[in-house]
């Protein structure tokens, strides 16, 4: 007589892999308490909104930070090598310095603080003397040409032409062709009547509109003309100026170049003048991300609630599966997978929604009638950072996974006898 075949185990009855099958089955199930389904949908919507909002707001904040870099750090000194009494051998010094990481140009400069006198007003300015014919000077002239508002960049030696920031020109009511008096802080001479400051009539050649804080104090002229005003020796400059592909690379270059400098030379980066502005933007980004991240955190707590309700509702099903041989670790995986489905679907939809809205932000706002004139002709700046987007999605999935651990542990501790007692 043939031996009786032992009863089939649950592994032989069900599809493989078993945990995946059960988790997806319960995720797609439409039966159960209405409130449980409502909480599940709220969790899904919360993750979608949280991920999309983080991508959209993060992209806009990245855009504003990029605009600050472009509108401020491209016209102000990114990194300077300065000497107390000026540099006479700046060419030899430039040749002796190793190239810094990300370096675009190393150019001579003549700088001083000063006062610009208009017809009725005086304004403090930071005078930048550049050498248009020097190697790498095109890097200096490029942002000025890009943001030219009026006039021409006619910085020819001996003409004492100047380029003003838009806000400075408005304060002085100055326009191209008008003459102003520049009073320099350095270069004065002592007379029996006291200190006679260095001064000169200069002609406004152009006005640039950077739409940033730099517009208030920007004055650019030919370096040789400024050197004459300051009564500097021929071929003498104030220092050397670095330009980088990314202005933030100037901070790393400080540590690289400082050991190479001789005594009497100092390094000064843009952070000393504008670091507070970028620190404020960075802090604002962190706070906004934290607040929007709370949306995902609330959705994760809703996932905990919904899974606990599902476990309570499916006590009998889980107990039957356990009596058929389903191991506790498989029960845990099943519940974890069910929660991850919600988190994964929500993250994917939020990713698509966030990217679509971020990349089409300006047309959508214009269609809604939002006035974007404050942002300039290009509209709101938007920069989608792939690393930041990836981190957002991974953070949402991680929170979802952590939210499933407690319900999964509770489900694996169910005792079949107790669960089936009243069934």
Residue 317 has a CB neighbour count (10 Å cut-off) of 13
User: Is residue 5 assigned to a domain?
Assistant: no
Query: Are 341 and 364 contained in the same domain?
Result: yes
Query: Are both 53 and 92 inside the same structural domain?
Result: no
Lookup: tokens for 383:
């920069």
Domain assignment of residue 4, yes or no:
no
Q: Is the pLDDT of residue 14 over 50?
A: no
| pLDDT for position 190 | 65
Q: Is residue 274 part of a domain?
A: no
CA distance readout (Å), 240 to 48, 262, 373? 51, 14, 38
The pLDDT score that the predictor gives to residue 3 is 47
Q: Is residue 368 part of a domain?
A: yes
**Do 228 and 110 have their domain in common?**
yes
- What's the number of CA atoms in the CB half-sphere (13 Å) around residue 230? 28
Of 241, 269, 297, which marks where a domain is finished?
269
Return the CA Rg of the chain.
33
| Residue 39 belongs to domain spanning | 10-68+279-419
How many domains, in total, are found in the chain? 2
Contact between 381 and 71 (Cβ < 8 Å): no
Q: Is the predicted pLDDT of residue 416 greater than 50, yes or no?
A: yes
| Per-residue confidence (pLDDT) for residue 368, from 0 to 100 | 82
In a domain, 390, yes or no: yes
98 in the same domain as 34: no
How far, in Å, CA of 147 to CA of 226, rounded?
23
Q: What would you measure as the largest C-alpha separation in the chain, in angstroms?
A: 133
Q: Is residue 1 part of a domain?
A: no
Q: Taking the CA atoms of 340, 343, 346 and 351 in sequence, report the sign of the dihedral they define.
A: negative
How far apart are alpha carbons 184 and 211 in whole angstroms?
A: 26
Query: Cβ contacts of residue 124 below 8 Å, gap of 6+?
Result: 113, 114, 115, 116, 217
Residue 49 and residue 32 share a domain: yes
In a domain, 3, yes or no: no
Residues 218 and 70: their CA atoms lie apart, in Å, by 15
Same domain, 296 and 150: no
Segment 179-205, tens digit of pLDDT? 999 998 877 666 666 567 888 999 999
Q: Is the same domain home to 224 and 83?
A: yes
Is 185 found in the same domain as 56? no
Q: Record the tokens describing residue 104, joined without a space.
A: 């675009």
DSSP letter string over 195-220? EE--EEEEEEEEEE--SSGGGGTEEE
**How does DSSP assign 24-81, residue by residue?**
HHHHH---S-HHHHHHHHHHHHHHHHHHHHHHHHHHHHHHHHHHHIIIIITTS-SEEE
Please tell me what DSSP assigns to residue 380.
S
12-21, 159-168, 212-221, 243-252: segment of lowest average pLDDT? 12-21
One domain, residues 231 and 300: no
**Percent with pLDDT over 90 in the chain:** 28
Per-residue pLDDT reduced to its tens digit, 294-341: 888 888 888 888 788 777 776 666 666 666 666 777 777 778 888 888
Last residue of a domain, one of 269, 298, 332: 269
**174 and 209 share one domain:** yes
The pLDDT, as a whole number, for residue 8 is 44
Residue 291 corresponds to which tokens in the numbers above? 């607040």
Question: Pick from 322, 241, 247, 313: which is nearest to 277 by CA?
Answer: 247
When the pLDDT of each residue in the chain is averaged and rounded to a whole number, the result is: 82
> Encoding tokens for residue 269?
């980066």
Give residue for tokens 């991850």: 340
Flag whether pLDDT at 22 surpasses 60: no
Which of 269, 289, 308 finishes a domain? Answer: 269
* 361 and 244 share one domain: no
Distance, CA of 315 to CA of 321 (rounded, Å): 10
Residue 44 inside a domain? The answer is yes
Pair 156, 193 in one domain: yes
Residue 198 has a pLDDT of 85
């Amino acid at each position: 007589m043939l031996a009786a075949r032992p009863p089939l185990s649950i592994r032989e009855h069900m599809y493989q892999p078993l945990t995946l099958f059960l988790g997806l089955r319960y995720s797609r199930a439409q039966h159960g308490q209405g409130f449980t389904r409502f909480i599940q949908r709220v969790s899904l919507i919360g993750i979608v909104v949280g991920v999309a909002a983080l991508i959209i707001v993060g992209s806009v904040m990245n855009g504003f930070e990029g605009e600050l870099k472009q509108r401020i750090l491209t016209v102000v000194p990114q990194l300077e090598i300065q000497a107390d009494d000026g540099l006479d051998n700046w060419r030899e010094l430039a040749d002796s310095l190793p190239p810094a990481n990300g370096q675009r140009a190393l150019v001579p400069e003549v700088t001083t603080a000063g006062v610009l006198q208009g017809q009725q007003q005086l304004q403090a300015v930071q005078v930048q003397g550049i050498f248009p014919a020097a190697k790498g000077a095109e890097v200096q002239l490029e942002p000025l040409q890009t943001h030219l508002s009026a006039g021409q960049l006619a910085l020819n030696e001996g003409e004492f032409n100047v380029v003003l920031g838009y806000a400075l020109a408005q304060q002085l009511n100055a326009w191209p062709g008008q003459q102003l008096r520049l009073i320099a802080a350095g270069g004065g001479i002592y007379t029996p009547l006291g200190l006679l400051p260095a001064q000169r009539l200069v002609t406004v050649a152009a006005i640039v509109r950077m739409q940033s804080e730099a517009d208030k104090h920007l004055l650019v002229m030919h370096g040789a003309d400024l050197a004459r005003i300051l009564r500097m020796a021929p071929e003498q400059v104030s220092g050397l100026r670095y330009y980088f592909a990314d202005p933030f690379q100037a901070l790393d270059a400080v540590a690289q170049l400082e050991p190479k400098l001789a005594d009497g030379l100092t390094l000064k980066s843009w952070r000393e003048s504008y670091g507070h502005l970028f620190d404020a933007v960075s802090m604002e980004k962190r706070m906004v991300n934290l607040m929007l991240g709370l949306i995902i955190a609330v959705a994760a707590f809703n996932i905990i609630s919904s899974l606990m309700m599902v476990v309570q509702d499916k006590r009998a099903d889980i107990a039957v599966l356990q009596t058929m041989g389903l191991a506790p670790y498989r029960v845990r995986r099943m519940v974890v997978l069910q929660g991850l489905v919600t988190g994964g679907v929500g993250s994917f939809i939020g990713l698509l929604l966030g990217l679509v809205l971020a990349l089409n932000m300006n047309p959508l706002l214009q269609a809604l009638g939002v006035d974007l004139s404050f942002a300039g002709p290009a509209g709101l700046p938007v920069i989608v950072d792939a690393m930041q987007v990836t981190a957002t999605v991974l953070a949402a999935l991680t929170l979802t996974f952590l939210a499933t651990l407690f319900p999964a542990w509770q489900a694996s501790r169910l005792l079949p006898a107790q669960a089936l007692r009243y069934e």
